Amino acid sequence: MEWDWEFSIQILPQLWEGVKVTIQATILGTMIAMTLGLVLAIARRSVNVWISRPVGFFAEFIRGTPLLVQLYFLFYILPDLGLLLSPLTAGVVGLGLHYSTYTAEVYRTGIDAIPSGQWEASKATNLTANQTWIHIIIPQAIPPMIPALANYFVAMFKETPLLAAITVLELMNQARSVANYHYKYVEPMTMVGLFFLAVSVPSVILLRKLEALYAPSDR
Amino acid sequence: MEQWQGYIGLILQGAVVTIEITILGCIVALIAAFIAGLGRISRFWPLRWLATAYIEFFRGTSIFVQLFWAYFVLPLLGVPLSPLQAGVLALGLNVGAYGAEVVRGAIKSIPREQYEACTALNLTRFQEMRYVILPQAFVRMLPTFGNNAIELLKGTAVVSLISLSDMTFQAQVVRAQTGSTAVPFLTILLLYFLFSSTISTAIKRLEWRLSRGLDGTGS
C-alpha cells in the first residue's frame, strides 16, 4: 500500500472544513461543560436532599452511560418532543452535558479542599450565601482546578469525532465521506489520527506546565 | 406486547455482545497496562521510550478514531481484522494506555522503605516486584482501574459503528423497525448504567478483600 501524497494534499481543503467544525464543537461544548458542571457541583452540595440526591443520581447516570447513546437519544428524541435541533447543536449539548458531570467532580473536590475556616470567616463577617460563593469560595477554588479542567477540555476535543454518528460534518465525518467517495481509506483516516496527535501531544506538555504552575501550594 | 418481547430479546442479544467485548477488552487493557506501566519505569531507555510512545499515541487520539483506523486502514496494510478483533484490540489498547499511567503512579507511590527493605533482604528485582511492591500497589490501582473499566464499557458503544451488533447497534435496529426511539434507547441506557454500577460495586468488593491484612496502604 503506497501513501498517495497528491491525494492527501488534494483532500486537505475538505478536511479543513471539518477541522473548523471540530474546533467549534469543542469550544461550545467546553463552555457548556464548565458552567453546567459548576451548577451540578453546587447543587450536589445543597443541604436540601430533594435537590442534592436527584442531581447526584443524574450525574452518576450520565457518567455511567456511553456518550454515543446519549447523543443518539438527544438527536432522535428531541424532535419527537417538538424541539428541532441542528445536528451540531444536539452534539454540542450532548458533549457539554456528558462532560459537565466530569467537571462537576473537579469542582467538587476543589471546593472540598477549601479549609472550613474560610466558610466560618464568611459567616462571621455576615456574608450571604451568594457573596460567600462568589467572593470567597470560587476565587480560591478555581486556580488549583485549572489543570484538571484543561485536561477535560483536551478530552472533549478528542471525543468530538463521535458527533459524526449524528451526521455532524466534523473532521472525522469529512474524512469518511472523502474516503468513501474515492474509495481510499489509508490517507484520510491516517491524517485524522495525525491531526489529533498533533494537537494532543503538545497539549499534554502544556498540561504538565499548567500543573506545575498551579500545583496546590502548601498552605 | 408479544412484539415487544421480540425486540427486548434483540437488545438482550446485544447486551451479551457488549459484555463479551467489555470483558475481552478489559483483559487486553490489563495486560497492556502492566507491560507499558512497568516499561515506563524500566531501567532500559529503549523500553521506557517504547512505552511512552505507546501511551502518548493511544491517549492522543480517541477510541473512535483508533477503531476506524484499525478497521479500515489495517486491512489495507495487510492486517485483516474482524470487527470483533478490531473492537477488542482498539478498546483494550486505548484503555490500557490510561491504565499504564495508573500502574506507574501506584508503583511510584509505594514508600522508599519498602524498596530499601527488599535490598536489605537481598531480594532480586523480580522478587521485589512480585512479592513486595505489586501486591501493595495493586490495591492502590483498583479504584482507578474500576473507572477505566467503566470507560471501556462506555467505549464499546462505538463498535456499533463498525457493524458489530452490540447493544447500541440492536437499539438502532429496533428504532428502525418500530419507529420508537424512547423505548429502545431508554432501555439500553438503563442497561449500561446497570453494568457500570455492577463494575464499580465489584471493584469496591475486590478492594476490600485485597486490602485486608495490608496496613498502611490506605482503606
Cβ atoms of residues B96 and B30 within 8 Å: yes
Instruction: For chain B, give the mean pLDDT.
Output: 91
Task: Kindly report, residue by residue over A66-125, the tens digit of the pLDDT.
Answer: 999 999 999 988 888 888 889 999 999 999 999 999 999 999 999 999 999 999 999 999
pLDDT of residue B218: 46
CB pairs under 8 A between A and B: 110
Residues of A in contact with B197 (CB under 8 A): 64
Average pLDDT of the residues in A125-137: 92
- Inform me whether the C-beta atom of residue B11 falls under 8 Å from chain A C-beta atoms: no
Residues of B in contact with A77 (CB under 8 A): 181-182, 185
Residue contact B181–A66, C-beta within 8 A: no
Residue in B165, B168, B166, B170 with CA at minimum distance from that of residue B6: B170
pLDDT of residue B214: 67
Average pLDDT of the residues in B88-99: 95
CA distance A137 to chain B (A): 28
- Inform me whether the C-beta atom of residue B18 falls under 8 Å from chain A C-beta atoms: no
Chain B from 66 to 95: CB within 8 A of any A CB? 66, 68-69, 72-73, 76-78
Residues of B in contact with A2 (CB under 8 A): none
Find all residues with CB under 8 Å of B103, minimum gap 6, and list them: B33, B34, B36, B37, B38, B137, B141
Residues of A in contact with B62 (CB under 8 A): 158-159, 161-162, 196
> Radius of gyration of chain B from Cα atoms?
21
Task: Kindly report, residue by residue over A7-43, the tens digit of the pLDDT.
Answer: 989 899 999 999 999 999 999 999 999 999 999 999 9
pLDDT of B36 over the 80 cut: yes
User: Could you tell me where the DSSP H helices lie in B109-218?
Assistant: 112-120, 125-127, 134-155, 167-178, 182-211
Percent of chain A with pLDDT over 90: 63
User: Please, what sign has the CA dihedral across residues A74, B164, A65, B186?
Assistant: positive
Per the rule left: phi > 0, alpha: psi between -120 and 50, beta: everything else, A82 is left
Q: What distance in Å separates the CA atoms of residue B19 and residue B10, rounded to the nearest whole number? A: 15
More confident residue, B178 or B149: B149
Residue contact B185–A76, C-beta within 8 A: yes
pLDDT of A44 over the 80 cut: yes
Tell me the CATH number of domain B2-211, given options 1.10.3720.10, 3.30.9.10, 3.30.1280.10, 3.40.50.2000: 1.10.3720.10
Residues of B in contact with A26 (CB under 8 A): none
pLDDT of residue B179: 84
- Inform me whether the C-beta atom of residue B168 falls under 8 Å from chain A C-beta atoms: yes
pLDDT of residue A219: 42
Tell me the CATH number of domain A5-214, given options 3.90.1300.10, 1.10.10.10, 3.40.50.1820, 1.10.3720.10: 1.10.3720.10
Residue A216: which pLDDT band, with cuts at 50, 70 and 90? low
More confident residue, B171 or B211: B171
Residue contact A164–B64, C-beta within 8 A: yes
State whether residue B158 is helix, strand or coil: helix
CA distance B193 to chain A (A): 5
pLDDT of residue B172: 92
Percent of chain B with pLDDT over 70: 96
Residue B219: which pLDDT band, with cuts at 50, 70 and 90? very low
Q: What distance in Å separates the CA atoms of residue A113 and residue A106, rounded to the nearest whole number? A: 11
Kindly identify which residue of chain A lies nearest to residue B66, measuring between CA atoms: A193
Q: What distance in Å separates the CA atoms of residue A51 and residue B135, rounded to the nearest whole number? A: 41
Cβ atoms of residues B195 and A61 within 8 Å: no
pLDDT of A65 over the 90 cut: yes
State whether residue A75 is helix, strand or coil: helix
Residue contact A196–B61, C-beta within 8 A: yes
Q: Which of B57, B61, B188, B198 to mutate to test the interface with A (most CBs of A within 10 A)?
A: B61
Give me the helix-helix angle, A67-80 and B167-178, nearest 10°.
Answer: 10
CA distance A123 to chain B (A): 34
Q: Which of A7, A22, A72, A101 to mutate to test the interface with B (most CBs of B within 10 A)?
A: A72
Q: What distance in Å separates the CA atoms of residue B190 and residue B181, rounded to the nearest whole number? A: 14
Residue contact B73–A64, C-beta within 8 A: no
Q: What distance in Å separates the CA atoms of residue A184 and residue A202, rounded to the nearest whole number? A: 29
Q: What distance in Å separates the CA atoms of residue A109 and residue A122, rounded to the nearest whole number? A: 20
Kindly identify which residue of chain A lies nearest to residue B200, measuring between CA atoms: A64
Kindly identify which residue of chain B lies nearest to residue A159, measuring between CA atoms: B62
Residue contact B66–A64, C-beta within 8 A: no
Q: Which residue has the cell 459548576?
A: A38
Average pLDDT of the residues in B183-204: 94
Q: What distance in Å separates the CA atoms of residue B89 and residue B26, rounded to the nearest whole number? A: 10
Q: What distance in Å separates the CA atoms of residue B168 and residue B10, rounded to the nearest whole number? A: 11
Average pLDDT of the residues in A162-191: 90
Listed by start position, the domains of chain B span 2-211
Task: Kindly report, residue by residue over B97-154, the tens digit of the pLDDT.
Answer: 999 999 999 999 999 999 999 999 999 989 999 999 999 999 999 999 999 999 999 9
Task: Kindly report, residue by residue over B41-84, the tens digit of the pLDDT.
Answer: 999 999 999 999 999 999 988 899 999 999 988 888 888 889 99
pLDDT of B217 over the 60 cut: no
- φ and ψ at residue A216, rounded to 5 degrees: -55, 115
Q: What distance in Å separates the CA atoms of residue B18 and residue B164, rounded to the nearest whole number? A: 9
Residue A218: which pLDDT band, with cuts at 50, 70 and 90? very low
Q: Which residue has the cell 502548601?
A: A218
Instruction: For chain A, give the mean pLDDT.
Output: 90
Single-letter amino acid code for the residue at B33: A
Q: Which of A64, A69, A80 sits opposite B168 (nearest CB)?
A: A69
Cβ atoms of residues B54 and B36 within 8 Å: yes
Listed by start position, the domains of chain A span 5-214
Q: Which of A189, A192, A207 to mutate to test the interface with B (most CBs of B within 10 A)?
A: A189
Cβ atoms of residues B42 and B48 within 8 Å: yes
Q: What is the 3-state secondary structure (H, E, C) of B47-111?
A: HHHHHHHHHHHHHHCCHHHHHHHHHHHHHHHCCCCCHHHHHHHHHHHHHHHHHHHHHHHHHHCCC
Q: Which of A161, A165, A197 sits opposite B57 (nearest CB)?
A: A197
Does the interface predicted TM-score (ipTM) exceed 0.95? no
